[in-house]
């Protein structure tokens, strides 16, 4: 499964991913071992959950801490691998497990954190029931030391103004996953309060393949455009490509390594064929400038547009002719 996943990533021009493993430590070993064979930069973690899930998928506060710590020591900083502390989301972790993961985060302050937040209204109501002592969803993570720079939370569709301020103050990031949000009927993220602020929130674009519908970042940009439109806020092509590249790198805390083309950066590159289908070939004849050309790609393009993918300067994928 790790090989299939990473092959599809490369075929779609995705050179860095922040990935949830399963609750089993072996899943993370498999992913990192396979990624090392491609020299891919991968951030990943063992999912931690000790309640509200099938018994075969539960761990405990202690095993979550011990297995995650062992994986950090085995993989973090080995080649291009980075470990990520990964509570599934607040409802599936007990108070004790969140305390243990907070202790692990304090022990390894450079390690990233990932989870989910405010994806749908029923989930938010559930969190209020489970954590009555916390003001809101974000304050649950804040209480346990899990809201900080390099903490990446999926979705955030229904965050309050106070929660958005908590993200700004802590330096935590949001992963905008529009195809997943539409697929599940969860709603859509309003980008305006996130980006049109004196203190914008760090924001990247994610496929969220647990419920997302495509490996293609072009298709994900398409969905992000529709999400923005649903809030009366058009998303320009330049903004969308930024979220899919440097924006994601900034959200992950690795913008000094990837996400842009500049001297000293790691050469992880996706090469696009701007005329990859007959329709795109026709439409591109009338593109007036770069911005319009990019907009055409994000609305009509998919995996067929990726001509080649380079990883650390070496070609890792070439589209068959």
Domain holding 121: CATH number?
A: 3.20.20.140
Residue 141 has a pLDDT of 98
Query: Does one domain contain both 87 and 134?
Result: yes
CB 200 within 8 A of CB 194: yes
Domain around 180: 2-252
Query: Does one domain contain both 239 and 283?
Result: no
Is residue 263 assigned to a domain? no
Q: Taking residues 108-128, what's their average pLDDT?
A: 98
Residue 299 has a pLDDT of 98
pLDDT (tens digit, 9 = 90+) per residue, 213-268?
999 999 999 999 999 999 998 999 999 999 999 999 999 999 999 999 999 999 99
Query: Does one domain contain both 279 and 190?
Result: no
pLDDT (tens digit, 9 = 90+) per residue, 82-93?
999 999 999 999
Distance of CA 288 to the CA centre of its chain: 33
pLDDT (tens digit, 9 = 90+) per residue, 40-70?
999 999 999 999 999 999 999 999 999 999 9
pLDDT class of 148 with cuts at 50, 70, 90? very high
Query: Does one domain contain both 175 and 112?
Result: yes
Residue 197 has a pLDDT of 82
How far apart (Å, rounded) are the C-alpha atoms in residues 123 and 117? 9
Residue 321 has a pLDDT of 83
Query: Does one domain contain both 137 and 281?
Result: no
Q: What percent of the chain stands above pLDDT 90? A: 98
Residue 196 has a pLDDT of 85
Query: Does one domain contain both 39 and 186?
Result: yes
Half-sphere exposure of 143 (CA within 13 A, CB side): 16
How far apart (Å, rounded) are the C-alpha atoms in residues 187 and 253? 27
pTM exceeding the 0.75 threshold for the entire prediction? yes
Domain end point (choices 226, 252, 278): 252
Tokens of 222: 């398409």
Query: Does one domain contain both 218 and 313?
Result: no
> What are 47's strand-pairing partners?
86
Is residue 264 assigned to a domain? no
pLDDT class of 297 with cuts at 50, 70, 90? very high
| Domains identified in the chain, total number | 2
Query: Does one domain contain both 9 and 123?
Result: yes
Query: Does one domain contain both 174 and 281?
Result: no
Statement: residue 35 has pLDDT above 90: yes
Query: Does one domain contain both 281 and 236?
Result: no
| Other CB atoms within 10 Å distance of the CB of residue 94 | 16
Strand ranges for 260-318 from DSSP E? 269-272, 306-311, 314-318
Query: Does one domain contain both 130 and 207?
Result: yes
Distance of CA 122 to the CA centre of its chain: 22
């Amino acid at each position: 499964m790790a090989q299939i996943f990473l092959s599809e990533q490369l075929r779609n021009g995705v050179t860095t991913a922040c990935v949830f493993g399963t609750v089993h430590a072996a899943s993370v070993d498999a992913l990192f071992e396979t990624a090392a064979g491609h020299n891919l930069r991968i951030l990943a973690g063992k999912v931690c959950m000790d309640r509200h899930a099938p018994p075969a998928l539960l761990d405990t506060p202690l095993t979550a801490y011990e297995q995650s710590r062992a994986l950090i020591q085995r993989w973090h900083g080995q080649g291009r691998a980075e470990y990520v502390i990964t509570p599934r989301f607040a409802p599936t972790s007990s108070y004790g497990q969140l305390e243990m993961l907070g202790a692990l985060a304090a022990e390894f302050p450079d390690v990233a954190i990932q989870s989910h937040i405010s994806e749908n209204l029923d989930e938010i109501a559930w969190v209020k029931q489970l954590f009555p002592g916390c003001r809101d969803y974000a304050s649950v993570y804040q209480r346990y030391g899990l809201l900080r720079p390099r903490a990446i939370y999926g979705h955030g569709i229904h965050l309050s103004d106070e929660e958005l301020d908590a993200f700004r103050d802590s330096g935590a990031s949001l992963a905008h996953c529009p195809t997943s949000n539409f697929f599940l009927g969860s709603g859509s993220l309003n980008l305006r309060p996130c980006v049109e602020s004196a203190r914008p929130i760090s924001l990247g674009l994610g496929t969220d393949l647990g419920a997302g519908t495509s490996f293609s970042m072009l298709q994900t940009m398409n969905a992000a455009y529709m999400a923005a439109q649903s809030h009366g806020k058009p998303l320009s092509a330049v903004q969308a490509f930024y979220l899919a590249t440097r924006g994601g790198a900034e959200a992950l805390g690795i913008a000094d390594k990837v996400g842009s083309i500049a001297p000293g950066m790691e050469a992880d590159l996706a090469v696009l064929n701007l005329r990859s289908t007959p329709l795109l070939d026709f439409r591109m004849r009338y593109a007036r400038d770069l911005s319009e050309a990019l907009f055409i790609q994000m609305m009509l393009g998919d995996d067929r547009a990726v001509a080649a993918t380079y990883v650390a300067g070496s070609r890792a994928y070439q589209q068959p002719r």
